[in-house]
Amino acid sequence: MKCRKNAGSVPGAFRPVRVLLVTLPSIPHVDIESLAHFDRIVAAGAASMEGWRVQSVDLSGRTAELLGLDPRGSLFLGCALEEKAEAWIRDGGGLVFPAIPSLPFDAYRGTLYDAEELYAGLENGYDATPDAQIYAWSRQHDEKGDTSRTLAAALHDHAIADALTELPDGQPWIGVMGGHGIARGSTAYRSAVLLGRTLARAGHTVVTGGGPGAMEAANLGSSLSGYDDSVVDTALSTLAAVPSFCPSVAAWAAAGLGVRREFPGDGGVSIPTWFYGHEPPNVFASSIAKYFSNAQREDVLLRRARGGILYLPGAAGTVQEIFQAVTPNYYGDQATQVPLILVDIHHWTVKLPVWPLLQSLASERAMATSIHLVDTIEEAAALVS
């Protein structure tokens, strides 16, 4: 019950007001993201499209089927439709969001990316790939302040967020964060690979920020979880020949794709962003949820890693992720805490003294039980296993 001031009474007096709560009927919805799925539903005897959410499906050859269905309550996002079918849907109470022309990406895509899609055409140089072209598009339209770009990017990121929710979530998601500057062939890179491998072998889904360095290494480790130590050594030796994405993203990505094809496996999930155009996405994650908005990407990344987050040595970006994850722990109770584990005592107490500040924040709060500082990946993995 709410109260409001009674203008006709004594100043300062309040009287209760009844609030009528209306419960709207819940309409189940169906996500249709392929022509085969559409055909299965129609063949099963569907008569109404109420609750249908159809994303980026070419229905130009299904006009007859569409005209036989009641369109009320349906939503079509970026689908190819013949004029007669589109009019039928609109006039009958459905919504049609048309495809946006002249984009280097599908703003209504129904699935996440994979490395083969983002790096298609790599043999012609990185600039020829969809990943590079989409980044170039985002930079061009940012400079112009083009509101149509903002809308297209927002629609795309919404579609990516929706596709991300459709991934299986039975296994705990463990986040692995760390610097993009860790070179292939280094001891730190190998350690991150072994960490990702250990986590995957323990039944966790490894999720990273999707870039090079520590993030690539963790996804690679997950993808090699089904192989023995000799394969890990072979993969690391091959990759060490191209230690960084500088000066050539094409050479760096090509080396990674070669290892990925030779030793396929589940590399977990990565959530990169075009905001950091200088950080190309690593090729080892099996599912890539790439965003335009870095803020949204960071929020999704940290929110999905409910099993815990491990922080390998990094710089400003990693520090930001630490404190972004700390905030809900600081204000949360014991039941909402997510384990946050900093790896490398010297790095987090001397080089970048984050740990003392975390201890001060955690004093006499539930958060005190959720922050940890360790020196080895074995200790880190044990805290989330």
Structure confidence at residue 27 (pLDDT): 60
Choice among 13-22, 69-78, 116-125, 375-384 with the minimum mean pLDDT: 13-22
Burial of residue 343 (CB within 10 Å: 0-12, 13-18, 19+) is buried
pLDDT of 307 above 80: yes
Q: What is the pLDDT of residues 262-285, one digit of tens each?
A: 999 999 999 999 998 888 999 999
* Span 315-338, average pLDDT: 95
Q: Which is more confident, 146 or 192?
A: 192
Distance, CA of 385 to CA of 125 (rounded, Å):
41
Distance, CA of 260 to CA of 70 (rounded, Å):
46
Distance, CA of 276 to CA of 194 (rounded, Å):
26
Q: What is the pLDDT of residues 350-383, one digit of tens each?
A: 999 999 999 999 999 999 999 999 999 999 999 9
Task: Please give the mean pLDDT across all residues of the chain.
Answer: 91
Distance, CA of 348 to CA of 359 (rounded, Å):
12
Structure confidence at residue 268 (pLDDT): 97
Q: Would you place residue 29 in the very low, low, confident or very high pLDDT band (cuts 50, 70, 90)?
A: confident
Structure confidence at residue 7 (pLDDT): 41
Q: What is the pLDDT of residues 90-102, one digit of tens each?
A: 999 999 999 888 8
* Span 327-332, average pLDDT: 96
Q: Which is more confident, 62 or 3?
A: 62
Q: Would you place residue 28 in the very low, low, confident or very high pLDDT band (cuts 50, 70, 90)?
A: confident
Structure confidence at residue 170 (pLDDT): 77
Structure confidence at residue 372 (pLDDT): 98
Model pTM greater than 0.85? yes
Q: What is the pLDDT of residues 38-53, one digit of tens each?
A: 999 999 999 999 999 9
Q: What is the pLDDT of residues 200-253, one digit of tens each?
A: 999 999 999 999 999 999 999 999 999 999 999 999 999 999 999 999 999 999
- What percent of the chain clears pLDDT 90, i.e. is strictly above it? 84
- Residues with Cβ within 8 Å of residue 125, at least 6 apart in sequence: 250
